[in-house]
Amino acid sequence: MKDTSKALLCTLMISYLLFSPLIIDFTLAQQQGETMPVIAHRLVKMGQRGEQLNIIAHIASDSPIHKTLLRVQSGEKSIQGNIPALDRNKTVPVLIQVMRDSDIHAGPSPTKVVIARVSKGQRLYVTAIKNGLYRVHETGGFSGYINPQNIQTLMTGTRFGVAIPPDFTRASSLTYQIVAIDNQGRQSETPSQQVNLFTPQQIAALQSGQDIDMADMPQTAGSRPFYKKIWFWLLVFAGAGTAAYFATQGEDEPKETTVDVLVEWN
């Protein structure tokens, strides 16, 4: 009886040693196979009416990206088209981890004002590189620049970009959404984002601190107009003010490039 028990125990131990690594590897492969495409994108909240609107994103996946789409809704008009890669031969950081406590600056320079402080181990998304600094954002939080010497890159990917044509920016607002699909059919998408579009007259009035006619600007039912909320004016006049905000909306890509990448739109 004892010999039988020992033989059974040995059999179980051998089975465990032989097969458990396979089970663990299979589980890890399953988990890795479930990784969705990662979209690093700074949400565009304002733009100039009647002008093209640049949409840029860094996208990564453990499987090649098959297609990247942009869905746009402006009034009764809607459009969906491909967002092309700006340079498939060049990889860009998408997801990073902070290696030491670091400052987040408002602009691409260590002399710019510090808007946040991040702790070691925190993960952030990278949406652009300028003057050697990474523009990062925290989901639902800040967006600013960090010194890449203080981070470790966890995921790299490709930079995608397209310009929404002026025909879709003539209303007071529009909404857009980015969709990424990899070769395995796995799909990720950003939340639908509303962009408020200002006329040159409204922008000039905001820059000078004047009251502006916002009768045609969108409002959310049951809430105060966004331009009357304190957080809106803090956003508009932070740093150098409204002029600087609108001036930076096209910094991701020169106009002559983004116009040329409008392809397969219908």
Share of the chain above pLDDT 90, in %: 55
pLDDT for the residue 215:
56
Worst-scoring range by mean pLDDT, 147-156, 173-182, 212-221? Answer: 212-221
* Listed residue (198, 193, 190) closest to 169, CA to CA: 198
Domain ranges (residues) in the chain: 38-260
pLDDT for the residue numbered 164: 92
> How open is the CA angle 257-258-263, to the nearest 5 degrees?
110
pLDDT over 90 (residue 250)? no
Q: Rounded to an integer, what distance in angstroms lies between the CA atom of residue 85 and that of residue 129? A: 16
Mean pLDDT over 109-128 rounds to 94
Higher-pLDDT residue of 150, 18 = 150
Look at strands 143-146 and 114-118 and give their pairing: unpaired
Whole-number pLDDT of residue 203? 85
Q: How far apart are CA 134 and CA 55, in angstroms?
A: 18
Whether 145 has a pLDDT exceeding 80, the answer reads yes
The answer, yes or no, to whether residue 266 has pLDDT greater than 50, is no
CA pair distance 141, 3, nearest whole angstrom = 65
Assign 265 a pLDDT band (cuts: 50, 70, 90): very low
The whole-angstrom separation of Cα 61 and Cα 239 is 35
**For residue 115, with 0-12 CB atoms within 10 Å meaning exposed, 13-18 middle and 19 or more buried, which class applies?**
middle
- Counting residues of the chain whose pLDDT is more than 70, the rounded percentage is 66
pTM recorded for the entire structure: 0.71
CATH 2.60.40.10 is held by the domain 38-260: yes
- In whole angstroms, give the CA distance from residue 195 to residue 138: 20
- What confidence score (pLDDT) does residue 209 get? 76
User: Do 95 and 40 contact (CB within 8 A), yes or no?
Assistant: yes
Name the residue among 171, 231, 223 with its Cα closest to residue 196.
171
pLDDT at position 213 is 62
Mean pLDDT rounded to a whole number for the chain: 76
What is the C-alpha separation between 147 and 232, in angstroms, rounded? 28
pLDDT the model gives residue 22:
33
Could you tell me how far CA 56 lies from the centroid of its own chain? 8
DSSP H helix total and E strand total for the chain:
5, 15
Pairing of strands 46-48, 193-198: parallel
Per the DSSP assignment, residues forming a β-bridge with 25 are none
Hey, which of 7-21, 181-195, 250-264 has the most confident mean pLDDT? 181-195
Cα separation, 103 vs 114, whole angstroms: 6
**Model confidence at 121: pLDDT above 70:** yes
Residue 76 pLDDT level (bands cut at 50, 70, 90):
confident
End-to-end CA distance of the chain: 78
pLDDT confidence bin for 186, thresholds 50/70/90: very high
Residue 54 pLDDT greater than 80, yes or no: yes
